[in-house]
Structure 1
Amino acid sequence: MIDVLVVDDDVRVARVHTAYVAKVAGFRVVAQAHSAAGALAGVSERSVDLILLDQCLPDGTGLAVVQELRRLGHQTDVIMVTAARDVATVQAAMRHGALQYLVKPFTFAGMRTKLEAYARLRRTVERGGEAEQAEVDRMFGALSAAAAPALPKGHSAATAEVIRQVLMKAREPLSAQEIAVQAGMSRQTAQRYLKLLERSGRARLTLRYGETGRPEHRYAWAANP
């Protein structure tokens, strides 16, 4: 179970974020805080794996909290969750070690995407050992995966998610037929969603030429769409 500290100056917003986290399998909120001091105390008083951290706090900033945590030797992971969207703040968050930056307002789906990506990253890191280039690319791209685009009428978000999971787990580009088999659907259905993901930049299309000279379309998840 991944233990989460929710930090937001607005008590009502903190409650909403807590409810979102509770709906994602494998996560639980162990505490809430509404100030910089409260955030630091929350990490000191209990074991916390991940902080969902607001930038604008009544007694300081989220970035100052991250800096102080690092100074004190805490390596707790941080995802900034804030309405601050100026480039300087985003860059500073990256420099100070925030894993991701989620801009308010957002939906539950936006939060879930970030948390599930974080969980995948933790599993990869916990396995340890050495990583091939494809695995390194997945690690660096895991938290930058954007939420799925709005789907055209007649498309299912659940089906698109199944195909996304197949692509993200693949160690090399796959054909539409290979993806269809792994996803448990027809090739025609897989092809339709793959074209949609490719057009939106979420999937990357490559061509592989066989003995017949006719190119085979192969797809891979785009780490940074």
Structure 2
Amino acid sequence: MNVLIIEDDLRIAEINRRFVEKVPGYQVIGIAADGLQAKEQLEVLQPDLVLLDIFFPDMNGLELLRYIKEHHRTTDVIMITASKEVETVQDALRSGVFDFIVKPLVFERFQKTLVRFQDYRQKVDRLKKERGPIGQEEIDGLIHSAGEKKESYLPKGIDTLTLEKITAVISQEHVGLTAEAVGRQIGVSRSTARRYLEFLVSKEEVIADLSYGDVGRPERVYRGR
């Protein structure tokens, strides 16, 4: 899968590039920082997938999304943006975006989307080769591949959104944070943060240790692997 990144912050574009290329079957073939570069590279490179921000000095990403859907119908788009307005999400979905991911980008969440996209494209390619009408079962398979899958494996009391927020905080921490400190950063209680952190420890995605201060009992601290 050939990917074009359209992002005016080159530091974030580089992070996105590294994340893309950690997923088997994907390669980044270009990075565009503004609307002019984006349209030029879309025309020349004909990517399978575009990772698109919304905020640019010279354009709105939603306008470019509609341009892509009109002029590059074989290219799909995943929005990766700091925008969280309901109207923006609704507009993006109506315009045909494959997924909408809020910054900061969490690799595990992003990876699931790329795996879904690859599955969707493979099914489309197979059905095209068969060159016949497709039935409800095949249509359902495409819709389910393109649609958001619920994380049914998560235990009771653990929801995807909070887990992603805590994972994002702790993945940037190499010294160690207490559950209270993590809770303050994302706006949840100490006990809630600890429940999620212990879940991540059980999945071997976070390391837990004890910090011994000058007085009082030792505190349990967490850091990313």
The question of a shared fold, defined as TM-score above 0.5 by the shorter chain, is answered with yes
Number of the residue aligned with 1:195: none
Q: TM-score, with normalisation over the residues of structure 2?
A: 0.61
**Alignment check: 8 A CA contact 1:113 1:147 kept:** no
Matches within 5 A, 1:16-165: 16-128=15-127, 129-146=132-149, 148=151, 151=154
User: How far does residue 143 in structure 1 lie from its aligned partner after superposition?
Assistant: 3.1
Distance 2:13 2:87 in 1: 25
Aligned to 1:157: none
Distance 2:92 2:138 in 1: 25
Question: 2:56 corresponds to which letter in structure 1?
Answer: L
Q: For residues 60 and 127 of structure 1, what CA distance do their matches in structure 2 show?
A: 36
Matches within 5 A, 1:172-191: none
User: What is the deviation of 1:121?
Assistant: 0.3
Deviates more, 1:86-95 or 1:12-21: 86-95
Q: What is the deviation of 1:74?
A: 4.5
Contact 2:46 2:75 in 1 (8 A): no
Match of 2:188 in 1: none
- What is the TM-score normalised by the length of structure 1? 0.61
**Cα shift readout 1:59-117 (whole Å, capped 9, x = no counterpart):** 11111112223443554111111111211111111222212111112311111101110
Per-residue CA deviations over 1:12-48 (Å, capped at 9, x if unaligned) read: 1100000000011111000011112221111012221
CA distance change for structure 1 residues 61 and 149 in 2, over 3 Å: closer, same or farther? farther
1:4 aligns to what SS in structure 2? strand
| CA RMSD, Structure 1 to Structure 2 (Å) | 2.0
One-letter code aligned to 1:143: A
- Number of the residue aligned with 1:189: none
Q: Distance in 2 between matches of 1:73 and 1:114?
A: 21
**Deviation by residue 1:129-188 (Cα, 9 ceiling, x = unmatched):** 443333322311223334747856xxxxxxxxxxxxxxxxxxxxxxxxxxxxxxxxxxxx
Q: Verify the 8 A CA contact 1:69 1:75 in the aligned structure 2.
A: no
Q: What are structure 1's unaligned runs of at least 5 residues?
A: 153-225
AA in 2 matched with 1:132: G
Between the aligned partners of 2:153 and 2:106, the Cα distance in structure 1 is 13
Change (3 A) 1:98 1:151: closer
Cα distance in 1 for partners of 2:121, 2:105 equals: 23
Q: Is the 8 A contact 1:8 1:35 kept in 2?
A: yes
Distance 1:97 1:89 in 2: 13
- Structure 1 residues 88 and 151, CA gap change in structure 2 (3 angstroms): closer
Q: Give percent identity, aligned residues only.
A: 33
User: How many matched pairs?
Assistant: 151
3-state SS of paired residue (1:5): strand
Contact kept in structure 2, 1:79 and 1:100, CA below 8 Å:
yes
Structural mapping, 1:203-218, within 5 Å:
none
